[in-house]
């Protein structure tokens, strides 16, 4: 993996232009890139947008066998433990399904939480006893 510094993970800034609030996709990208720098982590983005149906001209939810609603945006393995991160913009709320997924995930021994930044991830991992720094 290429060596990157934390500052290289942030989005480009344009001098004199006020930055807009980050969208969820930008926060997700930052979190995934940060975790990918960790040698003790295997991480990926869960794509759950459904399948496009040209016949109906819309996306259909996947509701087949083994499918579940509320699965987190980011999944992986962190220090030999299952990891699930639901990414939300600051102040964003979990849906009922997302909340239930995270509760079940944690009850089964996983590390599941909501995050709006890399700092949220570090804070959450520290509260669970992991030694980790930005």
**Residue spans per domain, the chain:** 21-127
- Tokens read off for 62: 């996947």
The pTM of the full predicted model, rounded to 2 decimals, is 0.78
pLDDT of residue 14: 56
pLDDT of residue 8: 46
pLDDT of residue 91: 93
- Tokens read off for 117: 């930044």
Contact 98, 11 (CB under 8 A): no
pLDDT of residue 19: 59
Quick one: fold of 21-127?
Answer: Trna Endonuclease; Chain: A, domain 1 (3.40.1350)
Q: Residue ranges of the chain with pLDDT lower than 70?
A: 1-20, 62, 64-65
pLDDT of residue 50: 72
Please report, to the nearest 10 degrees, the dihedral formed by the alpha carbons of residues 59, 65, 28, 86 taken in order.
120
pLDDT of residue 58: 85
pLDDT of residue 132: 87
């Amino acid at each position: 993996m290429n060596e990157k510094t934390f500052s290289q993970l942030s989005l480009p800034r344009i001098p004199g232009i006020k930055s807009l609030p980050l969208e969820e996709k930008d926060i997700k990208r930052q979190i995934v890139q940060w975790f990918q720098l960790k040698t003790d982590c295997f991480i990926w983005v869960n794509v759950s947008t459904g399948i496009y149906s040209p016949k109906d001209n819309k996306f259909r939810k996947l509701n087949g066998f083994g499918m579940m609603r509320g699965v987190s945006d980011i999944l992986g393995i962190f220090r030999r433990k299952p990891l699930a991160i639901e990414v939300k913009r600051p102040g964003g709320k979990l849906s009922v399904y997302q909340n239930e997924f995270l509760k079940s995930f944690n009850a089964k021994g996983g590390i599941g939480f909501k995050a709006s930044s890399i700092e949220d991830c570090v804070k959450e991992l520290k509260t669970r006893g992991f030694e980790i720094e930005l």
